[in-house]
Amino acid sequence: MNVGIYGCIDSTGQKRKGPPGVADFSSAVLQDCAPFLMAAMRALPHYRVLERARIDDVLKERQLAAAMLGDKTRSLLGNMLIADVLMLGQVVSYDRTVSQVASGIAVNAMGIGHQRVSDSFTFSLRVVSTKSGEVINEVLVQKSVESLQLNGHVLRIIGVDTASAESGSASNEPAGIALQQAIQLAVRAITEKGIQAGWWSN
């Protein structure tokens, strides 16, 4: 099946959350996920992926060849392939949940803190027929991005002096990897639906 991929976008416009009081204008997810979508589809034997996101560059190169080769252009280059379907992918929603837990012991002034941030996004993949414009199928995949922060402190009085110790750690799941995994899952799901619908049986 010849597949055209014009783009894979984030339609939420969600910005990355920075520390309190610090503005972060970076996007929470990649603005163009077409490379992930192309790689996921090329990994399967069911599809022939056609370049459409940079189609202008392809056409310019063919125009240059026509200017240089003249009448030999058609016989040397042949005809470009036409897509049977278009694969339209986009991130359609982005939500954040924050949970905090804190506790302490008064005897030695010991305390611990825990914060967990869960960002979840939904990725949509649609298959559109180039003959009729009909949406043949669609899948929605939800993926979470987890961030965890732990910290603790101890305060002790030794004689007339005060000793304090504090430590903490944080871990973040890369949003790019989570998006790549969501796209791979969506491609597998849409392919399984296509097999059940008999797309490749004709």
Of 193 and 104, more confident: 193
128: domain CATH number is: 3.40.50.10610
Domain count, the chain: 1
Residue 22's pLDDT is: 42
Higher pLDDT, 83 or 171: 83
CA-to-CA separations, 19 to 41, 44, 73, 173, in angstroms, rounded? 37, 41, 58, 17
- Residue 151 covered by a domain: no
Confidence of residue 186 (pLDDT cuts 50, 70, 90): very high
| Residue 182 forms part of a structural domain | yes
18-36: per-residue pLDDT in tens? 554 444 445 666 677 888 9
Taking the C-alpha atoms of residue 88 and residue 183, their distance in angstroms, rounded to an integer, is 11
Q: Is residue 53 part of a domain?
A: yes
For 48, the domain range is 2-94+122-143+174-197
In a domain, 180, yes or no: yes
Average pLDDT over residues 146-170: 58
Are 72 and 106 contacting, i.e. CB atoms less than 8 angstroms apart?
no
When the pLDDT of each residue in the chain is averaged and rounded to a whole number, the result is 77
Would the pLDDT of 137 be above 60? yes
CA geometry: angle 16, 100, 113, nearest 5 deg: 110
Asked whether the predicted pLDDT for residue 175 surpasses 80, the reply is no
Let me know if residue 114 belongs to a domain.
Answer: no
Residue 186 domain-assigned?
A: yes
* pLDDT at position 106: 47
Note the pLDDT of residue 126: 93
What would the two tokens of residue 178 be? 């989570």
Task: Report pLDDT digits (tens) over 30-89.
Answer: 677 888 999 999 999 999 999 888 888 888 988 888 888 777 777 777 788 999 999 999
At 128 the pLDDT is 94
pLDDT band at 108, cuts 50/70/90? low
Is the residue at 42 inside a domain?
yes
- For the cut 70, the answer to whether the pLDDT of residue 182 exceeds it is yes
In a domain, 133, yes or no: yes
User: Confidence band (pLDDT; 50, 70, 90) for 192?
Assistant: very high
Residue 10: predicted pLDDT: 77
